[in-house]
Amino acid sequence: MFITKRQKEIYQYLKDHIRDKGYAPSIAEIGKQFKLSSPATVHKHLVHLESKGLILKHQHLSRAIEIVDERSIDVSPREYTVLGHIVAGKPIEVLENREVMSFLPDPGNTNVFVLRVKGNSMIEDHIKDGDYVIVEKRDSANNGETVVALLENERATLKRFYKEADGVRLQPANPNMSPIFLRQGDFKIQGVVIGVMRKF
């Protein structure tokens, strides 16, 4: 389960508001609390929380937000250092930095790292420039999975993985960009993408 720090804050605000007043805050109240001028942005956060099973929204009813039974849900965020940038267009070296992201990992799956995406070669897979990809550390992948592949032990790239008769194909999700064909031994899989985060 992955939610951003802001979504965690909104979730906590919903809990506190319902506990203290007996009903959920309105979209406008949530926006005011977090200085979000666009109701659409608030709505996106709520949709994400509902998709993760943390809240339940009743359509067409004002303030109709319920907190799902949280006894089985660990909502304590964990902090992960963003290891660097990965270009989704052309391979580059992974750049070191100290940016920290706070999110909720899948229960029992903490063997992950985070990279920030540069470029739009994976745009048709809804991975955009500036997004963060959550990567499970693995040294193998299945056909069609999006991988972080290390080339020549120096450069990393983000592509879909496909096995070919004489090697592998790293396929961008952008019709304007060409795939990368490699022989076994010319690359190393660092991990498989299991989630994407976007800051609003």
Catalytic center residues: 121, 159
Beta-carbon contacts of residue 30 (< 8 Å; ≥ 6 apart): 10, 13, 14, 36, 42, 45, 46
Contact predicate 183/169, CB 8 Å: no
Which tokens go with 157? Answer: 């790239």
Contact predicate 166/179, CB 8 Å: no
